[in-house]
Amino acid sequence: MINAAPSSRVTVTAPARLHLGFLDLNGGLGRKFGSIGLSISEPRTRLSIAIARQNDVVGPDSERVRRHLETMQEVPGLRAAHRVGIEHAIPAHAGLGSGTQLALAVAAALRSLHGLPLDPRGDAVRLRRGARSGVGIGLFEQGGVIVDGGHGSLAGPAPIVSRLAFPEQWRVLIVLDPAHHGLHGGNERAAFAALPPLAERSADRLCRLVLMKALPALAERDLPSFGAAIDEVQRIVGDHFAPLQGGRRFTSPQVGACLAALQAAGAYGIGQSSWGPTGFAFAPSAAEADRLAASARRLPGSRDLDIRICTGLNAGADIAVRMTAEVM
């Protein structure tokens, strides 16, 4: 039975996220991973879903969307045919959380179309997302800066233990390298399996940096302290992952060189999001971000990079119901 009105269409816009670092790659206290992440204003995934006479998926990342659609159609109340149009998709395997945001956007659009309550955590499990980090799920729901508590003995996505707003005046510079891709799929699983436990003292330091420096600095709008905390988190995590990234902290050498130049020019908190290749840095204002971006774009080799200025996004995914003329 179709629960949606034939004239309704749901559009979901989901933001990219930056993974700013893991908290505990040791696991000695019974929990492992834990993450800090930030929702950013671009790039975004935007898709629309409506009832149709047969399944039809068009646009970028259509195969992944088709798989998610077919999985979600097994949920009671969602067993209908749909047309999905993907207007924009966050670049895949760039360290921006594209897979989780895409999956949750499909699930949320279907549930909203059929009048069912949203269930991001349950749908993440159903669609095989959030196996390590829970920040993508939390950011889809709330935006801002999220910390998850890692995985313990209970099944399911990591719990969200903190959420703070990102200061509106701050800016985020992201540096994308279309020529490189971060680890994903089976290669990512194999990499984590090969990764030795992080030294306990380093895990202790990461947790202290997040709890006692990064988060208080956010609350006090203190960018130098926030940036210094993220710098150190990224150094510890980056050095631990370097053997799996060609001996480098950064998947893309070009991104690494650009970030070093941005830091020298006055940017704060440089790092790589997840497996990269996307890098990031922070600026205290729009004007300062413009200056930094202009200096980065003058660097040799920067023509091959995509350097953007973003804001932090303090809201979750946007879900909008619109009326259409007829069933598609």
What pTM, to 2 d.p., does this model score?
A: 0.92
Do 198 and 173 fall within a single domain? Answer: yes
At 21, which CATH number? 3.30.230.10
Do 156 and 14 fall within a single domain? Answer: yes
Strand partners, 289: none
* CA separation for the pair 113, 115 (Å, rounded): 6
Task: List the chain pLDDT tens, one digit each, 328 residues.
Answer: 344 444 589 999 999 999 999 999 999 999 999 999 999 999 999 999 999 999 999 999 999 999 999 999 999 889 889 999 999 999 999 999 999 999 999 999 999 999 999 999 999 999 999 777 889 999 999 999 999 999 988 878 999 999 999 999 999 999 999 988 876 677 777 877 778 899 999 999 999 999 999 999 999 999 999 999 999 999 999 999 988 888 889 999 999 999 999 999 999 999 999 988 999 999 999 999 999 999 999 998 888 999 999 999 999 999 998 876 554 4
Strand partners, 8: 323
Cβ neighbours around 201 below 10 Å, total = 9
How many folded domains does the chain comprise? Answer: 2
Identify the domain containing residue 203 by its residue range. 167-311
Strands (E), the chain: 8-24, 33-51, 56-58, 82-88, 145-148, 160-164, 171-176, 268-272, 279-283, 306-310, 318-323
At 238, which CATH number? 3.30.70.890
Do 78 and 112 fall within a single domain? Answer: yes
Cβ neighbours around 268 below 10 Å, total = 21
| Residue 89 Cα distances to 6, 101, 105, angstroms | 26, 9, 11
Residue 312's nearest CA partner among 20, 67, 56, 1 is 20
Q: Is the dihedral angle over the CA atoms 187, 86, 307, 140 positive or is it negative?
A: negative
Do 151 and 222 fall within a single domain? Answer: no
